[in-house]
Amino acid sequence: MPATRFIIARAKGHPARTVLCLLLLLPVTASAHTETGAIGGLLSGFKHPLTGLDHMVAMLAVGLWGAFLGPRAMWTLPVVFPVVMALGGAAGVLGMPLPAVETGIALSGVMLGLLVAFATKPPLWAAAIVVGFFGVFHGHAHGTELPGSANALAYSIGFVVSTGLLHLCGIAFGLLARWPWGKMVVRAGGGIIAAVGFAFLFGLL
């Protein structure tokens, strides 16, 4: 069974999966940064991508664009982003400088959102490069904000898992593109993501 049909079949009759996506969109307080130890680090890392709308929209956009591009991209892009993000996170933990991190994060929402909105379909390798490039900025931001008391490895695992779940939510929404009306909805979603990115880019959010 093709991957797309498999996901749709699995999603039918399971409202809990929709609830999971909604829960991921709920704001999380910054108290996560006070937790200690391996478990505290895991929880802090898991919650960190959910504390910033700029992070969330970009991660949703990766899954959204992947589903829009087709079955191969649907799995490739959500793998490339966390892997490269983890490398960026390691650089942040080690204190390696990266210029214009916040600008890169805001631009990721703008660019990924516009790519979806304009139904852009580049070769898979090119899409992977774009996603990986922006993953570095998100990872570096997570790494530099590692709580001093947290376990670095557990923290990294936490934010990678959280990112993966956000990608899955984006994929679930992106699968609507298999229908003509759904394609318009997905493209509109890309436009909203781009608008949020622009708002962060110009300091409106």
Could you read off the pLDDT of 55-110 as tens digits, one per residue? 999 999 999 999 999 999 999 999 999 999 999 999 998 999 999 999 999 999 99
Q: Which residues pair with 37 in a beta bridge?
A: 150
How far is 93 from 116, CA to CA, in rounded Å? 32
Length, in residues, of the chain = 205
Contacts of 10 (CB under 8 A, 6+ apart): none
pLDDT of residue 36: 58
pTM of the model: 0.80
Q: Residue 64 CA to chain centroid, in angstroms? A: 10
What type of residue is 11? A
At 171 the three-state DSSP class reads helix
How far is 51 from 32, CA to CA, in rounded Å? 10
Residue of 117, 9, 143 lying closest to 57 (CA atoms): 117
pLDDT of residue 145: 86
Q: For the chain, which ranges sit under pLDDT 70?
A: 1-37, 149
pLDDT of residue 102: 95
- Token pair belonging to 123: 């070769």
pLDDT of residue 152: 84
Cβ 175 vs Cβ 67: under 8 Å: yes
